Amino acid sequence: MSDVVDNPFLKTLGVERTAWREGYAEFRVQVKPGLLNRQEVLQGGVIATLLDAACGYSGLYSAERDRPIHGVTLSLTLNFLDKGLGHTATAKGFLERKGRSIFFARGEAWVDDRTLIATAQGTFKYARSTT
């Protein structure tokens, strides 16, 4: 089941949010020609984008849909482990620790739910409300 993605950049890439709950977020994209690099494997920037979204959203869940929580990435460290060869790439974000203004998350990127292609660790800051 996919959810509405409220991020224009992710929409442009064709990314779907497939899970989102307290402490966890998951995003998926179909691997298609426009997302491949010169070696015809999934571009590293797409994987980084998926992991950034999954890690970030893992700390931004709000049960009140009319009161969204926003944040910004302070740092994101990636480790690429394998090629992005397959049909579907999925990133899973896990909230590790949450403070008043900053939270920490880790992520995993998988191809076809069987090959771990990258991991991530990130630090994120809650954005101030503009309302």
Task: Encode pLDDT of 56-90 as tens digits.
Answer: 999 999 988 888 999 999 999 999 999 989 999 99
Q: Domain 8-126, what fold?
A: Thiol Ester Dehydrase; Chain A (3.10.129)
The predicted model gives 89-105 an average pLDDT of 97
Q: Residue 87 and residue 18: Cα distance in Å, rounded?
A: 16
Q: pLDDT grade, residue 1 (50/70/90)?
A: very low
Burial per residue of 2-37, b for 16 or more beta-carbon CB atoms within 10 angstroms, e otherwise: eeebeeeebeebebbbebbeeebbbbbbebeeebee
Find, among 124, 51, 53, 103, the residue nearest to 81 by Cα: 51
Question: What does the block give as tokens for 113?
Answer: 């739910």
Task: Inform me whether the pLDDT recorded for 128 exceeds 50.
Answer: yes
The amino acid present at 115, given as its one-letter code, is: T
Q: In what order do the strands lie in the sheet with 71-80?
A: 16-21, 24-30, 88-98, 102-111, 115-126, 71-80
The pLDDT of residue 65:
81
